[in-house]
């Protein structure tokens, strides 16, 4: 059987296609799990209906309870309405700016991981969102919109923009036209109908030398890439027809669930191909006003989150929180169904899920709704609930997670020490 390097690329004039993990990439002596440990931050905005947390909000995650670690008692480092919520979620910064033009936080945990893995992956990290970026102007409490529109900070003064356009994400992963001009991208689409077409001969030659199981994996992976590309192109076609006067980036379907499906598929492809090991993702930005009529909640999310302790409004808020958990559960199912080395992608991931606010009507930073999901590549054990006394800051959790990835640092933001990840069974 042909032996392949772990980072095999099929190159062409249209770009480079990284292959998924194949048996042919396994070392001849299988004494250790070769799959890398991957990190994902999955952020949900506007706090939580804490009266319904963790249950019934987290009921959709029941099938993944053995790979879930519920964390209670952790507080935000910087608790300043919505700016501090997302602004300190991955940075653990104890303070932020004091006006619209003062932008300061700390290097975020995902970027510390990205630096560590930079020599091993083509894309050090992906910063993704479901909302249009707005890193200028004031959005909350007269502070910069940078705080509410990103989780990732390359330096204490350099917030990273989150990409919301699936086409832009696809091109970053599998080949870019070199221009952000929509007309240029459309020309590229016409000239290069599919990235895979240009490497088809190389794929066919490679498949002839692989074992049957690897051929099947390669077929499934390439079809997944084709499917994502087809759906992006179809979304672009429909966007042009339905919204010809709107100056929006191409590639994002108008329906929230369709857009989300594309963004999550791209994340899976990025992890599966080994192009990156680090992704930060905002399901929505802080202060998101997105309504959810599809689940019987036509009210805008952010105003509803300020429920003033009215039980009927809290119940409505909990429906949004539970729906987010349902969407997350479907993502976990996809990760669980994606083979990776001796297990699945989910087995080899640590996912930090939650919000930077607990009680939304008070903008509370106490007892944040947080959990870890995945197999952690064997570095921590799920199926448990840990309740921390003395309200340790989230920066301590970030410091602990970096340690689980083999990235020892002395401090993250306002951290004061590491947290134990042992506790009672769920």
Q: What is the pLDDT of residues 122-168, one digit of tens each?
A: 889 999 999 988 766 788 889 999 999 999 999 999 999 999 999 88
What is the tens place of the pLDDT at every residue in 218-256?
Answer: 777 777 677 667 666 655 664 543 333 323 334 688 899
The two structure tokens encoding residue 129: 């969102």
At residue 198, the pLDDT reads 64
Contacting residues for 122 by C-beta, under 8 A, at least 6 apart: 16, 18, 275, 276
The two structure tokens encoding residue 391: 């309200």
Contacting residues for 114 by C-beta, under 8 A, at least 6 apart: 124, 125, 278
**Which residue matches tokens 């350099």?**
158
pLDDT mean over 23-35: 58
Domain boundaries, the chain: 35-164+252-425, 179-250
* CA distance linking residue 96 with residue 164, whole number of Å: 25
* CA distance linking residue 132 with residue 282, whole number of Å: 11
Residue 95's CB: how many other CB atoms inside 10 A? 16
- Which pTM does this prediction carry? 0.82
**Quick one: which of 115, 204, 141 has its CA closest to 409?**
115
CATH of region 35-164+252-425: 3.40.720.10
Backbone angles phi, psi at 157, to 5 degrees: -120, 15
**Which residue matches tokens 């080994």?**
274
* CA distance linking residue 316 with residue 297, whole number of Å: 7
């Amino acid at each position: 059987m042909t032996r392949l390097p772990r980072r095999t690329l099929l190159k062409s004039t249209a770009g480079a296609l990284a292959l998924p993990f194949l048996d042919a990439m396994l070392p001849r002596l299988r004494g250790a799990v070769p799959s890398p440990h991957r990190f994902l931050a999955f952020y949900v905005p506007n706090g939580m209906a804490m009266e319904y947390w963790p249950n019934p909000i987290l009921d959709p995650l029941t099938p993944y309870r053995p790979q879930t670690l519920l964390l209670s008692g952790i507080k935000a480092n910087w608790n300043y309405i919505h700016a501090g919520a997302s602004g300190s979620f991955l940075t653990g910064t104890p303070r932020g700016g004091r006006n619209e033009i003062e932008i300061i936080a700390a290097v975020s945990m995902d970027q510390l991981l990205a630096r560590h893995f930079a020599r091993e992956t083509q894309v050090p990290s992906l910063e993704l969102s479901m909302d249009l970026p707005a890193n200028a102007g004031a959005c909350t409490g007269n502070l910069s919109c940078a705080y509410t529109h990103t989780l990732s900070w390359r330096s204490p003064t350099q917030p990273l923009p989150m990409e919301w356009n699936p086409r832009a994400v696809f091109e970053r992963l599998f080949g870019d036209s070199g221009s952000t001009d929509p007309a240029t991208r459309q020309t590229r689409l016409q000239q290069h109908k599919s990235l895979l077409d240009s490497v088809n001969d190389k794929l066919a030659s490679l498949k002839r030398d692989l074992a049957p199981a690897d051929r099947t994996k390669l077929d499934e992976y390439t079809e997944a890439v084709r499917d994502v590309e087809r759906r992006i192109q179809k979304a672009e076609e429909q966007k042009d027809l339905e919204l010809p006067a709107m100056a929006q980036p191409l590639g994002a379907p108008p329906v929230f669930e369709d857009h989300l499906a594309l963004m999550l598929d791209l994340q899976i492809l990025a992890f599966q191909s080994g192009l990156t090991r680090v992704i930060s993702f905002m399901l929505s930005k802080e202060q998101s006003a997105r309504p959810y009529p599809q689940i019987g909640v036509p009210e805008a999310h952010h105003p509803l989150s300020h429920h003033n302790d009215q039980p009927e409004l809290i119940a409505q808020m909990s429906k949004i929180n539970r729906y987010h958990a349902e969407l997350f559960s479907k993502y976990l199912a996809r990760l669980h169904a994606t083979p990776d080395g001796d297990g699945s992608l989910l087995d080899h991931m640590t996912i930090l899920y939650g919000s930077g606010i607990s009680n939304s009507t008070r903008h509370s930073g106490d007892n944040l709704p947080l959990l870890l999901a995945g197999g952690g590549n064997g570095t921590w054990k799920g199926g448990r609930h840990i309740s921390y006394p003395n309200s340790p800051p989230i920066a301590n959790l970030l410091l602990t997670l970096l340690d689980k990835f083999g990235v020892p640092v002395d401090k993250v933001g306002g951290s004061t020490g590491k947290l134990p990840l042992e506790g009672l069974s769920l």
